């Protein structure tokens, strides 16, 4: 039987577990999981915004100005340009951007308030004796 070199085994074991081990480490990192959760929540939120636009905002626009948001423009060959769908997508985008901006602003305000609390340290008021002792120390350093 061949003798097993323990140093070689330690070297191989320390290099990781190959492609799948590296992939597992990558996937299980906190920021990747946070990003995945954010994408899932964002997708669900997008469907809510689309429903809001289609079911509430578009009918209000239709009733006020009589403009048809679900408009089509017939072009050659029986094809249509769905400009209403495009306008709806722009409205959805603006609503999403506004909500995300407001959420980010609120989070930044909370983080800023937390930082201010940690940065604010109570000012130490020096007593007269401490000030006098510091002056004496400074004079002694100066005279040396």
Tell me the sheet residues that pair with 74.
Answer: 80
Which of 47, 142, 124, 31 minimizes the C-alpha distance to 92? 47
| Stated length of the chain | 144
Alpha-carbon distance 47 to 60, whole Å? 19
If one compares 22 and 64, the residue with the highest pLDDT of the two is 22
Q: Which two tokens stand for residue 66?
A: 């009589």
Short-list 106, 104, 105, 70, CA closest to 89: 70
CA 28 to chain centre: 18
Domains and CATH numbers, the chain: 6-138 (1.10.1200.120)
Q: Is the pLDDT of residue 43 over 50?
A: yes
How does the average pLDDT of the chain come out, rounded?
A: 75
pLDDT band for 118, please (50, 70, 90 cuts): low
pLDDT > 70? residue 100: yes
CA gap 101, 107 in Å, rounded: 10
Q: What is the pLDDT of residue 120?
A: 64
Q: What pLDDT shows up at residue 16?
A: 57
């Amino acid at each position: 039987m061949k003798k097993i070199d323990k140093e070689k085994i330690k070297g191989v074991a320390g290099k990781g577990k190959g492609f799948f081990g590296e992939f597992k480490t990558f996937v299980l990192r906190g920021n990747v999981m946070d990003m995945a959760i954010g994408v899932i929540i964002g997708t669900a939120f997008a469907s809510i915004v689309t429903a809001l636009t289609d079911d509430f905002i578009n009918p209000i626009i239709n009733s006020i100005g009589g403009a048809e948001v679900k408009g089509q423009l017939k072009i050659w060959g029986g094809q249509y340009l769905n400009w209403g769908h495009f306008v709806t997508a722009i409205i959805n985008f603006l609503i999403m951007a506004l909500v995300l901006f407001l959420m980010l602003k609120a989070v930044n305000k909370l983080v800023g308030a937390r930082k201010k609390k940690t940065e604010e340290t109570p000012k130490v008021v020096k007593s007269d004796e401490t000030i006098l002792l510091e002056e004496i120390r400074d004079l002694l350093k100066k005279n040396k």
